[in-house]
Amino acid sequence: MKKQKGLTLISWLAIIAVVLFNAIIAMNVVPVYLNDHSVKSMMKGLETDTSLRGATPKKIKESVAKRLRINNVYSVTKNDIVIKKSKNDYVITIEYEPRGRLVGSLDYIVTFKHEARITAR
């Protein structure tokens, strides 16, 4: 009998099923991480923005919400934005959990938390 080479049909179907499942997961979860990257870069921009230094917490929260809308990040609501006063600065914290459906009854939940500091005066 000659030496056989290659995969059988069942092996190919199993490999294709695994690849498709991973592709479905990637198509649903990767946009969540892209949105989080936008939130992270926006938070870094807050720390270097001189127009917010000495601003009130209300103005800071409105500015953060506006920047999120500009970046098309709708998974973060105003309730997810918390501003606390420390000694000489404000600590802005955004903590949110985007949720979604993968396949059938399989869902995902991803938790993110970002902080930025703005000088109070």
Which single residue is written with the structure tokens 């969540």? Answer: 32
What is the Cα–Cα distance from 77 to 16, expressed in whole angstroms? 39
| Model confidence at 4: pLDDT above 90 | no
Tell me whether residue 24 is in a domain: no
Tell me whether residue 104 is in a domain: yes
What is the Cα–Cα distance from 89 to 84, expressed in whole angstroms? 9
3-class state of residue 67 by DSSP: helix
Domain that holds residue 90: 31-119
Provide CB contacts within 8 A for 50, sequence distance 6+: none
pLDDT digits over 15-69, tens only? Answer: 999 999 999 999 999 999 999 999 999 999 998 888 888 888 999 999 999 999 9
Tally of structural domains, the chain:
1
* Structural contact between residues 94 and 80, judged by C-beta atoms closer than 8 angstroms: yes
pLDDT digits over 83-98, tens only? Answer: 999 888 999 999 999 9
More confident call, 1 vs 49: 49
Confidence of residue 14 (pLDDT cuts 50, 70, 90): very high
Torsion over CA of 32, 33, 38 and 40, rounded to 10 degrees? 120
Confidence of residue 111 (pLDDT cuts 50, 70, 90): very high
| 4 φ, ψ (degrees, to nearest 5) | -85, 145
More confident call, 1 vs 98: 98
Provide CB contacts within 8 A for 25, sequence distance 6+: 102
Tell me whether residue 108 is in a domain: yes
| Model confidence at 1: pLDDT above 70 | no
| Model confidence at 3: pLDDT above 80 | no
Tell me whether residue 106 is in a domain: yes
